[in-house]
Structure 1
Amino acid sequence: MMEECNLVHFDQQVAGHDKLMLMSTNDLIVVKPCKKRELDFYQDALNFPDFQDFIPECYGTVRAATEKDLKLLDKSELDDGTVKLDNNQTSDHILFQSKIITFRQKFKPHFNIPNLICSQNLCLENVLHGFTKPCILDLKMGSLLYDQDATEEKRKRMINHSVTTTSSTLGLRFSGLKVYNSVQRRYATFEKKYGQSRTAENIIDALLGFLFPVSIYASNAEKDAKYITDKTDQDDVKKEKIPTKYSKWVIECFIDTIKEIRESIIEHPNLQLIGSSLLFIYEGDRAAADSTWKQMLEEDDIPENKELKADDDDLSPKMCDIRLIDFAHSDWHADRKDQDPELVKGFDNIIALLEDCLKRQRQEKL
């Protein structure tokens, strides 16, 4: 008998207005309310396979199987954060128009979901899956924050947001972040106001505070943070900072991937990213980081002629990840020969900032 499947509130969101949801039976998929433009973006992205690694995988569009459930999904405020789904349907497939993903082939036996009727709620890969205590940064990219459909009032508001923040000066802005201190065993969350108050001069300190939660840079930001203590904490849990070599490896991975994304968007000038973000994720739990690091070293020793099992590769724990997200105002149909220089500037600046973080790490032994 199929286990009952609900939609529950996704509590790891650090920015944005959307009410993101998770399947109650697992954390493999995020359900995100969307407009047609974002759905079209993911569908058009299928024509650019070289870009697929840089965005969450899209498995289609879903909604609850009853009109009552649909109304709950569409409500701006959910009463208890839970939406029940109809389990009378037993198909193993979710349709994305011409694209059909057979989940059981990829995730069996980790994934179990009833068939859901198509609607405009995106069914996306949960890029936080595989992390124990994910540290998350939503970095808004570019200086243009509105599309051609924006009202005059919204255009003025978005222009003001850009010129009064680092969106205009650097082509990027902290939109939200959540960082885990592995010594104090607590999360610190920072809302939009924190990012909006950063300047070209002090944004490097904010980035260092995110990358090194047990540092003077994180301590200096305490007045701007809200804290959530780890309720599952135990006396025998390892309360130690993330080792320097782990952090260095993570930052280098971030830099390498951002360079690849930068190159890709330049090669696709027709790609117009407006209000999109780079989502940074790294493991903040010391024990989980140790385990993942050990696994990575073991995999490095695996002979080239011996392949990993697909399930192990897909579901293994992660040390870090970075993706482009949020495409409600983006599309693949810009009529131009060169990419937006302000967007490219943002990528250049975050690369430079991360390289500066590596230098500070060496100099200050972070």
Structure 2
Amino acid sequence: MGGKKRIPTPDQLRDYNYAVAGHAGTLCDADGELFIKPCTQTEIDFYQAVETQGYREFADIMPLFMGELRLSNPEEVPLDDGLMGVIAGNGDLKTTKEQIAATIAEHVAKVAPDATSDQTTWVPTQGKKIKTDKSVVLENASFGYKKANILDVKLGVRLWADDAPAEKKKRFDTISSQTTHGKLGFRISGMRVYQGSEDESTWDDEGYTIYDKDFGQLTVNDDNVVDSFRKFVFNKAAGVDQELGRAVCSAFVRDLQRIEQVLASHETRMYSSSLLFIFEGDGDALASAIEKNNEILERDSAESYTCPPVERTNMRLDNRMDSGIVLEDEDDFEDEDEDEDDLQLPQIYTLKLIDFAHANFTPGHGPDENTLTGVRSLLRIFKELAGEDD
């Protein structure tokens, strides 16, 4: 995101107090920069461990963590101008005081007394959101895009944690054996692609083609998996041609290499975590964003000192390409926060490791090879799509 991050204080977080309501399960602040996600205590603990125990490298590959929120009863929520609204079970945004109170009351009634405790009998959620009164407040990774293409890839060959009930282990092992989890260590959980189909009748109201979880579980296999990722990136209808698509894939390669390095150098265990891929899906906006980024950065570089052109968005490539995408060296700009405030650079792409409901740091147990299997498979695929040699 261009410009300096706006991190709210604890008092400001309490002022938000956006009770998360319904199966939609998420909420953004008025500007769309914050993302409030229901979670377990384990996920909160993982984010806090990264913040407080010095795992700086992990913080770089995760969404920016801004704090935690707890679900409030309606009478405890300050229904004033500070509360923008809640998302109801049908996905509608409720904004009046009466609607907010009713929606919060509905969700509170659905929350189990101890939603995160172990269960003797495991019951599949069937895609429903967890029942919890806890949420993490994160930077919204999709903020700032004109038409964000989004891909969620679930990682791992094994998908269950050690304390999972036997029935859950059995079900997840079946999913793994019948999908790309088994050999490649990942599965496409879902994706949305701007104008991602020649049949406009398949587009939603915003012009997106939606590929739900059945796509990754029933359609994608070891033989067609590369073509499935190609559907996500390369899209002539939206103006993402071969050159732009390869540039995006090269950028993802760079970040995948970084994520591999971080995971290989830390001792963790995480099950059913995901990688979230986002890039500007409107080809004209993508090309314009790349051009604008480089114009600003070349100018800034020329004014400060002589160095190769760099970029302060998430694009991380070693050298300038014909696309104009270049590498950011964070150390070169660590003292220039005041300049960044004046630079509102358009988003180009983002790659983040997400979902830590079953994640822990495990000193003495070595790197998480289960998760790394999926990362390395993705790295090979994006290198192929980028036209890079191994």
**Which residue of structure 2 lines up, in the alignment, with residue 227 of structure 1?**
none
Whether 2:166 is the aligned partner of 1:144: answer no
**Which residue of structure 1 lines up, in the alignment, with residue 146 of structure 2?**
132
**Which residue of structure 1 lines up, in the alignment, with residue 224 of structure 2?**
202
**Which residue of structure 2 lines up, in the alignment, with residue 97 of structure 1?**
none
* Alpha-carbon shift at residue 144 of structure 1 (Å): 1.8
* Alpha-carbon shift at residue 33 of structure 1 (Å): 0.8
C-alpha separation in 2, matches of 1:6 and 1:291: 37
Whether 2:291 is the aligned partner of 1:274: answer no
Gaps of 5+ in 2: 1-11, 78-85, 98-132, 201-205, 306-335
C-alpha separation in 1, matches of 2:274 and 2:89: 26
Q: Helix, strand or coil: the match of 1:177?
A: strand
Q: Helix, strand or coil: the match of 1:19?
A: coil
C-alpha separation in 1, matches of 2:73 and 2:188: 38
C-alpha separation in 2, matches of 1:44 and 1:29: 21
C-alpha separation in 2, matches of 1:9 and 1:65: 9
Superposed counterparts of 1:40-189, under 5 Å: 40-46=45-51, 47=53, 48-63=55-70, 66-67=73-74, 78=89, 81-82=92-93, 120-181=134-195, 186-189=207-210
TM-score by length of 2: 0.66
C-alpha separation in 1, matches of 2:27 and 2:380: 35
C-alpha separation in 2, matches of 1:355 and 1:303: 31
**Which residue of structure 2 lines up, in the alignment, with residue 329 of structure 1?**
358
Q: Helix, strand or coil: the match of 1:309?
A: helix
Deviations 1:307-348 (Å, cap 9, x if unpaired)?
5723345x5321111000111111113541x32333222111
Q: Taking structure 1 as reference, are residues 69 and 279 closer, same or farther at Cα in structure 2, changes over 3 Å only?
A: farther
One-letter amino acid of the counterpart of residue 354, structure 1:
F
**Which residue of structure 2 lines up, in the alignment, with residue 193 of structure 1?**
214
C-alpha separation in 2, matches of 1:131 and 1:9: 24
8 Å CA contact 1:137–1:281 kept in 2: the answer is yes
Whether 2:387 is the aligned partner of 1:359: answer yes
C-alpha separation in 2, matches of 1:266 and 1:340: 7
* Alpha-carbon shift at residue 289 of structure 1 (Å): 1.5
C-alpha separation in 2, matches of 1:301 and 1:140: 37
Whether 2:248 is the aligned partner of 1:250: answer yes
One-letter amino acid of the counterpart of residue 205, structure 1:
D
8 Å CA contact 1:265–1:339 kept in 2: the answer is yes
* Alpha-carbon shift at residue 299 of structure 1 (Å): 2.6
One-letter amino acid of the counterpart of residue 195, structure 1:
G
Gaps of 5+ in 1: 11-16, 87-118, 215-238
TM-score by length of 1: 0.71
Whether 2:324 is the aligned partner of 1:310: answer no
**Which residue of structure 1 lines up, in the alignment, with residue 104 of structure 2?**
none
One-letter amino acid of the counterpart of residue 173, structure 2:
I
- Alignment equivalent of 2:261, drawn from 255, 260, 263: 263
Identity, % of aligned pairs? 27
C-alpha separation in 2, matches of 1:200 and 1:312: 46
Which shows bigger deviation, 159-168 or 174-183?
Answer: 174-183
**Aligned residue pairs, count:** 289
One-letter amino acid of the counterpart of residue 318, structure 1:
Q
Q: Taking structure 1 as reference, are residues 85 and 22 closer, same or farther at Cα in structure 2, changes over 3 Å only?
A: farther
C-alpha separation in 2, matches of 1:161 and 1:32: 25
**Which residue of structure 2 lines up, in the alignment, with residue 288 of structure 1?**
285
Q: CA RMSD in A?
A: 3.2
Q: Taking structure 1 as reference, are residues 186 and 147 closer, same or farther at Cα in structure 2, changes over 3 Å only?
A: same
Which shows bigger deviation, 183-192 or 25-34?
Answer: 183-192
8 Å CA contact 1:69–1:85 kept in 2: the answer is no
Q: Helix, strand or coil: the match of 2:270?
A: coil
**Which residue of structure 2 lines up, in the alignment, with residue 241 of structure 1?**
239
8 Å CA contact 1:7–1:83 kept in 2: the answer is no
Q: Helix, strand or coil: the match of 2:384?
A: helix
* Alpha-carbon shift at residue 63 of structure 1 (Å): 4.1
Q: Taking structure 1 as reference, are residues 125 and 242 closer, same or farther at Cα in structure 2, changes over 3 Å only?
A: same
One-letter amino acid of the counterpart of residue 48, structure 2:
Q
Which shows bigger deviation, 156-165 or 37-46?
Answer: 156-165
- Flag the structure with higher strand content: 1
Q: Helix, strand or coil: the match of 1:62?
A: strand
8 Å CA contact 2:230–2:385 kept in 1: the answer is yes
Q: Taking structure 1 as reference, are residues 262 and 179 closer, same or farther at Cα in structure 2, changes over 3 Å only?
A: same
Superposed counterparts of 1:8-19, under 5 Å: 19=25
8 Å CA contact 2:234–2:242 kept in 1: the answer is no
Whether 2:43 is the aligned partner of 1:38: answer yes
